[in-house]
Amino acid sequence: MWQFIRDRWQDIAYSSYQHVSLVVQSIILATIIAIAIAVLVTSYRRLEPIANAISAVGLTIPSFALLGLLLPLLGIGAAPSVVLVVFYATLPILRNAVVGLQGVDRDLIESARGMGMGPATTFFRVRLPLAWPVTLAGLRVSTQMSMGVAAIAAYALGPGLGPYIFTGLTQIGGANALNYTLVGTVGIIILALILDAILLLIGRLTTSRGIRV
């Protein structure tokens, strides 16, 4: 096994970097979209049940089916992979962002507005920081899930460690089938745990000491 890795360490490193890069960029995008939707949902009461229904239905669409649907629209390569990961990454973050924003104490918002903070300032200096810890929890769950989902992107020639798994599949019975699959699968798990640790660190740095649990 180690010989297998030593021979291909350059390609493994390159694919690992691509995998993390795909997930991180998609997570950033998903966070922006999720928070934007969460703001809309929390400011217009009647949108909330609709948002919950959509996210419930959204989760039921299997990732493999969605990739299939994206292929004809976006062709092969990075585009369908990003859209796939962003779609699944958004849902957990959205749910937590909504919970987080609703959790902000009404009085705090009123006193912020009462002190002359405009709606945007109130959002960025009061509502978002207070909702951040809960949103971040959603971000961590979403990252873990996305690392797994990103593996399927290989079916559309997307970047990352996915191809190793699919090569392992096509060479079942061959000498290196197990090595390919193990490198792909275990590699993704290790990268996921590293990402999780980094997110924990980011969480510690970005959450103010006053509300750190």
Partner 1 sequence: MSIVPRSCRTQARRRTALASGTVIALSLTGCGLGTAGGFAPSGDLGGPLAHVKPLDDATIAVGSKNFTEQLILGKIAVILLKSAGAKVKDYTNIPGSSSARQAQLQGQVQMEWEYTGTAWIAYMGHSNPIDNSIKQWKAVRNQDLKQNQLVWLKPSPENNTYSFAVKQSTAKKYHLKTLGDIKKVPQKARTFCVESEFANRNDGFQPMLKAYGLKLGTSVPRKNIKTLDTGAIYAATNNGLCNFGEVFTTDGRIKALHLKVLTDPKHFFPLYNVAPVLTKKIYDEYPQLKDLFEPVAQAINNKVMINLNAQVDVDGREPVDVANDWLHKKGFIK
Partner 2 sequence: MSDSATSSQGPDGSVSGAEITLTDVTKRYTRSGKPAVDGLTLNIPAGETVMFVGPSGCGKTTSLKMLNRLIEPTSGTITIDGEDIRSKDVDDLRRGIGYVIQGGSLFPHMSVADNIAVVPGLLKWKKQRIADRVDELLDLVGLEPDRYRDRYPRELSGGQQQRVGVARGLAADPPVLLMDEPFGAVDPITRQRLQDEMMSIQDELRKTIVCVTHDIDEALKLGDRILILQEGAQIAQYDTPDVILAQPAGEFVEDFVGSGSSLKLLTLTRVQELDLATQSTATIGESTKDVIERTRAAGDSSVIVLDQRRRPIEWLWLRELRSDTIPATEDPKLITIDRRATLNDALDSMLVSSHDGVIVTGRRDEYLGVTTFTTVTDHMRATEQAAAEQAAEA
Partner 3 sequence: MAELAKTEADAQTRSRPRKPRRVGREDLGMLLGLPTLVIIVFVAWVIWRQTASLDDIEKRQLAWDAIGRLTWQHIKLTVVAAIAVLITAVPAGITLTRPRFRKFAPPVAAFANAGQAAPVIGVIVLLAIWVGFGFWTGVLALGIYAFLPVLRNTIVGLQQVDPSLVEAARGMGLSQLAVLRRVELPLAIPVIMAGVRVALVLLVGTASFGTFINAGGLGALITTGITLFRYPILISGAILIALLALVFDWLGRVLETAATPKGM
Site for partner 1 in 76-105 (CB under 8 A): 76-79, 81-83, 86
Interface residue with partner 1 among 52, 58, 148, 176 (CB under 8 A) is 176
Task: Report which of 136, 140, 133, 132 is spatially closest to residue 23, judged by C-alpha positions.
Answer: 140
Looking up tokens 């705090």 gives: 108
Site string for partner 1, 128-167 (x = CB under 8 A): --------------------------xxxxxxx-xx--xx
How far is 112 from 109, CA to CA, in rounded Å? 5
Pick 159 or 184: Cβ nearer partner 3: 184
Interface residue with partner 1 among 50, 64, 119, 186 (CB under 8 A) is 119
Task: Report which of 70, 69, 92 is spatially closest to residue 83, judged by C-alpha positions.
Answer: 70
Half-sphere exposure (CA, 13 Å, Cβ side) for 48? 11
DSSP codes joined into one string, 35-71: HHHHHHHHHSTTHHHHHHHHHHHHHHS-HHHHHHHHH
Q: How many angstroms from the chain centroid is the CA of residue 55? A: 15
In total, the chain counts a number of residues equal to 213
Interface residue with partner 3 among 113, 148, 176, 203 (CB under 8 A) is 148
Interface residue with partner 3 among 63, 90, 96, 122 (CB under 8 A) is 63
If phi over 0 gives left and psi between -120 and 50 gives alpha, with beta otherwise, what is residue 116? left
Q: By CB under 8 A, is residue 7 in contact with partner 2?
A: no
Q: Which does 205 bind (CB under 5 to 8 A by kind): partner 2, partner 3, partner 1, none?
A: none
Task: Enumerate binding residues for partner 1 (CB under 8 A).
Answer: 4, 7-8, 10-11, 14-15, 18, 21-22, 25-26, 28-29, 32-33, 36, 39-40, 43, 71, 75-79, 81-83, 86, 118-120, 154-160, 162-163, 166-167, 169-177, 179
Task: Enumerate binding residues for partner 2 (CB under 8 A).
Answer: 105, 107-108, 110-118, 121, 125-126, 129-130, 207-211
